[in-house]
Amino acid sequence: MNEKIAPHIEELTRALGISRNQAQKELEILLNYRVPLDEAKRTVIRKFRSSSGSTLKNIGELSPGLSGIDIKGRIINVKQKNVNVKGKRSVIYSGVIADRTGACSFTSWDGHPLNKGDAVHLNNTLTRIWNNRLEINIGKLSSINLLPDNLIPPVEDLLEILEKKIRDIDISDLFVTSTVIILKMYHRNIKEGDREMTIIEGVIGDETGKLPFISRMMDVDIGNVIRFENASVEVFKGLPSINLDENAEVEILDPRLDGILTFESVSGVPEPTKIADILNKNGVFDAVAIGNIISVRPGSGIINRCPECNRVILKNTCRSHGVVDGIKDMRIKIIIDDGTGPLLVMLDRDISETVYGRSMHEVGEMVKRTMSHDQVVEDVKNVLIGKYIAVRGNASRTDFGMILVADSAWFPEDDLCGRIERIYEKLSLLGAKLDV
């Protein structure tokens, strides 16, 4: 037994009145699925304290942290996934269930088979937050019973999908309808079970913003204006992503229609976003932030990456692939501030060379000459700190806070007088008296 979890097993044993072996088994199952320790403990506690009976609830009444919940609804969509835990192959099912009061994501961890369109009664389930969404957990002590089909309304009566602009699509949405233009796309081969297939990934947008998408449709191209209905919204790194799967209805619109979106009207640079607004979200796709560079972080300069997964490695050792021959790369980590908050920005090699003014070769020669990576960081600080910079890219929340990975960066014309006037106006609103 792992000594790190031994105190937690003792705690569960005392709190629940179960055997050490039972507590250890239940906790390790969740930890093997990479559930965080605190969440795993709460799940075990809810599971064993739910033995007093289940409560039937509508989906619209659900909230995080419930246990012993019964739900009647219809399976809107479902995916089967094979996972390996300690060399043992297991099958889990995830998807969406709905009733007349709403829809909710679910995951069945114990191999309970489910099919799209099934009318079901879920017994003794749990609820939690996963990927910033409410989710129903169907576990080992849960059961699933099929209901007569006429007891649950059909799918089309359960889901009222409102049409939304891109900027209004949120990670809380399960399905969405919208009209967009395809801005970027590329094909990627994936393996789904024993089958190999080709999918399309890319970027869609309208006059309000842009989002990533994935599709199995092969007859679309860059510049096509499409209207999709009932597309599922997935979450990756805190960002919504549109999945044009077999459940979505997709129509390619005639480009000659009045008021149709055009590539030129959508593909421009977005308006800058206040850093405070970025920090208040779980992620922002294709954001522009402008501010002064107030810090250059350690880890800037020459780095080595794993040739397999592209992670940064130390001493030629990757945490996923062991000892590897690292590939040299360059990056700069900066913090910018616009007066509303600080934002960590990652600059890749090309952008770093441009804003710093030195190539990776020149930086490498500096390291050889000074025998120190710290000297590079100090030189980057001397060049960059205080400069007014604009960055564009995707921002996502990580264990280290919000990070924007820049796709481009530039030094805009610094309207210093205008910035001072705006600061003065803000201070005036706060009642400050200044002599200017």
**E-only strand ranges, 322-387:** 322-323, 327-337, 342-347
Q: Which residues have CB under 8 Å from 310's CB, separation 6+?
A: none
Q: pLDDT tens, 297-316? A: 998 999 999 998 888 988 88
CA distance 311 to 329: 11
325 and 406 in a single domain? The answer is: yes
408 and 329 in a single domain? The answer is: yes
CA distance 343 to 281: 13
Q: pLDDT tens, 118-162? A: 999 998 888 888 876 789 988 877 888 899 999 999 887 887 667
Residue 16 has pLDDT above 70, yes or no: no
CA distance 280 to 238: 12
**pLDDT of the residue at 52:** 46
- Cβ distance 181 to 225 under 8 Å? yes
Count of domains for the chain: 4
Residue 406 has pLDDT above 90, yes or no: yes
67 and 151 in a single domain? The answer is: yes
pTM of the model: 0.68
Which pairs from 27-32 meet CB under 8 Å and 24+ separation?
29/85, 31/5, 32/85, 32/86
What separation, in Å, do the N-terminal and C-terminal C-alpha atoms of the chain show? 69
31 and 61 in a single domain? The answer is: no
> Does 242 reside within a domain?
yes
Residue 426 has pLDDT above 80, yes or no: no
- In degrees, rounded to 5, the angle at the alpha carbon of residue 333 between the alpha carbons of residues 331 and 339 is 150
Q: pLDDT tens, 233-272? A: 888 777 889 999 887 889 999 988 888 898 888 888 888 9
> 279: how many CB neighbours lie within 10 A of its CB?
16
> Does 428 reside within a domain?
no
- Give which of 136, 154, 146, 156 is closest to 60, Cα–Cα: 136
Q: Which residues have CB under 8 Å from 344's CB, separation 6+?
A: 297, 333, 334, 335, 400, 401, 402, 403, 404
Q: Which residues have CB under 8 Å from 404's CB, separation 6+?
A: 278, 287, 289, 343, 344, 345, 346, 391, 393, 394, 395
> Does 426 reside within a domain?
no
The first and second tokens of residue 109, run together, are: 């961890």
Tokens 């609103």 belong to residue: 429
CATH classification of the domain holding 222: 2.40.50.140
More confident residue, 395 or 15: 395
43 and 71 in a single domain? The answer is: no
DSSP state string for 197-208: EEEEEEEEEETT
- Give which of 297, 281, 411, 301 is closest to 364, Cα–Cα: 301
**pLDDT of the residue at 336:** 97
279 and 414 in a single domain? The answer is: yes
> Does 270 reside within a domain?
no
Domain stops at, among 156, 180, 197: 156
377 and 315 in a single domain? The answer is: yes
131 and 202 in a single domain? The answer is: no
SS3 22: helix
Phi then psi dihedrals of residue 379, to 5 deg: -70, -40
Strands 327-337 and 301-305: antiparallel
286 and 381 in a single domain? The answer is: yes
- Domain of residue 45 covers 5-50
Domain stops at, among 106, 126, 156: 156
> Does 430 reside within a domain?
no
Mean pLDDT of 76-97: 80
The first and second tokens of residue 224, run together, are: 């096509």
> Does 181 reside within a domain?
yes
DSSP state string for 74-99: EEEEEEEEEEEETTEEEEEEEEEEEE
Residue 39 has pLDDT above 70, yes or no: yes
> Does 31 reside within a domain?
yes
143 and 200 in a single domain? The answer is: no
CA distance 175 to 164: 10
257 and 238 in a single domain? The answer is: yes
More confident residue, 64 or 52: 64
115 and 78 in a single domain? The answer is: yes
Strands 327-337 and 322-323: unpaired
> Does 431 reside within a domain?
no
